[in-house]
């Protein structure tokens, strides 16, 4: 298959590109480098520009026989989306609509969307399936929800078929270290652990009064390599997966809830260094968290997570010196 990956210079898109190539598929990257990195492109076919540039999409389709599109390009920082909701709705929703129009014009039949588990409503047992109620909190999560709503209407009118992959909490790095988390200060919990460890600072568990088994938030941490492999499985099973219904949603998580305190313990074990830990209140907008109990991705796509959060921690630590060498920080 030849796959166009929007946002293919970013953390997840670049890892998906590596997984596709490892599985024998060809990739073409479209990225505006707003947060993506040129160092992650290597010798891949690259189109630099905006997903809403229709002429550029026409050129890509004229120059390549594209079998499927993986749409990773988006702005993804939750607090930034609160400060600039219109910028987020414009980039993530408005430009996705324009992209879809360009893809329909060019006859694209398969569209795979990077959605997010942050659109689920809180659940008192912390578990969700694809059918659980949705209640996106932040403007960022709402952009993912809105695009899903739009995508539901597209197949009947256009013949394009759609898979929405709802990612849980991606962490870690391509085990071969070809690319990784490029942001210097991402805000997720593993990044905070890495920062505390590197700078000999205290790690703060934000929120210890949630009704979870140890009071800290619970997440479904998925190794980014497993997540990338899920895209390969989705592409390879696309036609069967959409045979009965041309719009399908899949939860992409491990099925294991891991608390923030448990992740900190795994981190200590892997790093071999004791960690200074303190407890603090939840940050604005924080939630207790959810994990998936769905087996739909396994049953339909033949995919399941194989790597643990401990392996993700190991690979994230291994990425730090490689990132310095590759990106200079």
Catalytic positions, please? 140
In the complex, least distance from residue 258 CB atom to ligand NAD, rounded to whole angstroms: 15
Tell me whether residue 224 or residue 317 sits nearer to ligand NAD (CB atom).
224
Instruction: By CB under 6 A, name the one of 20, 57, 68, 72 that touches ligand NAD.
Output: 72
Q: Which stretch binds ligand NAD (CB under 6 A): 33-41, 261-269, 287-295, 321-329?
A: 33-41
Tell me which residues in 116-135 interact with ligand NAD (CB under 6 A): 116
174 scored as a contact of ligand NAD (CB under 6 A): no
Count of residues in contact with ligand NAD, rule CB under 6 A: 26
Q: Which residue is nearest to ligand NAD (CB)?
A: 10
35 scored as a contact of ligand NAD (CB under 6 A): yes
Helix (H) / strand (E) containing 218: strand 218-219
How many helices (DSSP H) and strands (DSSP E) are in the chain?
12, 15
12 scored as a contact of ligand NAD (CB under 6 A): yes
Tell me whether residue 82 or residue 215 sits nearer to ligand NAD (CB atom).
82
If one counts every other C-beta atom within 10 angstroms of the C-beta of residue 232, the result is 21
3-state SS, residue 318: helix
In the complex, least distance from residue 29 CB atom to ligand NAD, rounded to whole angstroms: 9
Tell me whether residue 182 or residue 259 sits nearer to ligand NAD (CB atom).
182
DSSP H stretches of helix in the chain: 11-22, 54-63, 78-83, 85-88, 95-105, 139-158, 189-198, 224-236, 238-241, 260-271, 296, 309-327
Please give the backbone phi and psi of residue 5, each rounded to the nearest 5 degrees, phi first.
Answer: -115, 110
User: Which residues does 285 contact at the CB level (< 8 Å), separation at least 6?
Assistant: 78, 79, 82, 137, 138
Largest CA distance in the chain: 57
Sign, Cα dihedral of 101, 89, 145, 33: positive
Tell me whether residue 31 or residue 262 sits nearer to ligand NAD (CB atom).
31
In the complex, least distance from residue 211 CB atom to ligand NAD, rounded to whole angstroms: 24
CA–centroid distance for 228 within its chain: 9
In the complex, least distance from residue 269 CB atom to ligand NAD, rounded to whole angstroms: 23
Tell me whether residue 75 or residue 192 sits nearer to ligand NAD (CB atom).
75
3-state SS, residue 166: strand
51 scored as a contact of ligand NAD (CB under 6 A): yes
Judged by the rule CB under 6 A, the positions of this chain that interact with ligand NAD are: 6-7, 9-13, 31-36, 50-51, 72-76, 91, 95, 114, 116, 167, 170
């Amino acid at each position: 298959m030849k796959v166009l990956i929007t946002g293919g210079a970013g953390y997840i898109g670049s890892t998906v590109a590596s997984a596709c190539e490892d599985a024998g598929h060809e990739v073409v990257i479209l990225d505006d480098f707003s947060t993506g990195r040129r160092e992650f492109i290597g010798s891949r076919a690259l189109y630099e520009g905006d997903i809403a540039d229709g002429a550029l999409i026409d050129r890509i389709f004229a120059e390549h026989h594209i079998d499927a599109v993986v749409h990773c390009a988006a702005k993804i920082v939750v607090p930034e989306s609160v400060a600039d909701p219109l910028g987020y709705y414009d980039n993530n929703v408005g430009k996705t609509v324009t992209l879809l129009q360009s893809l329909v014009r060019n006859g694209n039949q398969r569209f795979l969307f990077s959605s997010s588990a942050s659109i689920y409503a809180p659940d008192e047992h912390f578990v969700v399936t694809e059918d659980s109620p949705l209640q996106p909190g932040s403007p960022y999560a709402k952009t993912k929800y809105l695009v899903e709503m739009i995508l539901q209407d597209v197949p009947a009118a256009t013949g394009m078929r759609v898979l929405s992959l709802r990612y849980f909490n991606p962490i870690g790095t391509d085990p071969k270290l070809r690319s990784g988390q490029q942001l210097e200060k991402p805000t997720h919990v593993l990044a905070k652990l890495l920062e505390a460890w590197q700078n000999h600072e205290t790690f703060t568990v934000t929120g210890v009064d949630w009704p979870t088994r140890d009071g800290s938030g619970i997440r479904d941490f998925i190794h980014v390599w497993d997540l990338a492999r899920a895209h390969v499985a989705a592409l390879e099973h696309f036609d069967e997966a959409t045979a009965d219904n041309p719009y399908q949603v899949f939860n992409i998580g491990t099925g294991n809830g891991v608390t923030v305190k448990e992740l900190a313990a795994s981190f200590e074990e892997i790093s071999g260094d004791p960690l200074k830990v303190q407890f603090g209140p939840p940050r604005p907008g924080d939630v207790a968290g959810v994990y998936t109990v769905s087996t739909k991705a396994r049953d339909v796509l033949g995919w399941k997570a194989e790597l643990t959060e401990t392996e993700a921690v190991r690979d994230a630590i291994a990425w730090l010196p490689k990132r310095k060498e590759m990106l200079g920080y």
